[in-house]
Amino acid sequence: MYDDDAPVPRCVICPRQLLDHESGRFICLPCEHRIDADLRQLAGPAGLYARLCLRVQPERSAANHGAVSGTPGRGVPPNLEVLSLTSNGGIVSTLETWVEDWSTYGLAVQGAGGRLQHRVDTAVITLRRNLTRAASRHPALDEFGKEIYKVRSQAEAIITGEKKPIPIPVVCPCGTVTSVTLNTDGFECRNCGAEYGHRAAMHLPMAERRAA
């Protein structure tokens, strides 16, 4: 049981109150499992990264004659958004930057390089293997979880053709403006600490648009 006078420990991500068996952790078990699932979806020959690599060069026209109208003899230019995610500096760098960061906490060992797919797989394996220990030792797991979720969401949106959710600026009663989308599960106001579930967030008043 927690001391009534002590602050209630909460997950730094959701922010759900931590249960007795989660004592000493920065994040709750459900958030740990969600991060692990996001990481797992990125790696492997059928993972999101590998599937993105197949889309660097978009499919040719239905006729499949190998030429683009107005550019005889040239192929279809690569998808630049996909290229930025799959090249060195994209997903692989995001993962390896966190591996390097975790290594300063004794939570990971940096990989030895190699091809990009191998580097992605190695980084994912390292982060997943050490995630449970990091849950009680790394104070920036909220930032880590958000970055991994963002990368996974970007990759999925490109592969499925899903449009990105439109951000909606809403106002907390304290006056703080926060952006939410129709997919927002909930959030905690960074100013007053008020917590909103999905339904409550959707019922907050919209912020007035400022004139350009």
Domains of the chain, residue spans:
1-59+78-163, 165-212
Compute the distance between CA of residue 38 and CA of residue 159 in angstroms, rounded to an integer. Answer: 15
Task: Specify the long-range contacts of residues 125-128, CB closer than 8 Å, at least 24 apart.
Answer: 125/43, 126/99, 126/102, 127/39, 127/95, 127/98, 127/99, 127/102, 128/36, 128/39, 128/40
Q: Nearest CA to 128 among 102, 154, 165?
A: 102
pLDDT at position 192 is: 87
End-to-end CA distance of the chain: 53
List the pLDDT tens digit at each of the 212 positions of the chain.
445 566 788 898 887 889 999 999 999 999 999 999 999 999 999 999 999 999 876 554 334 444 444 444 444 455 788 999 999 999 999 999 999 999 999 998 888 789 999 999 999 999 999 999 999 999 999 999 989 999 999 999 889 886 667 788 889 999 888 888 877 788 888 888 888 888 788 888 988 754 33
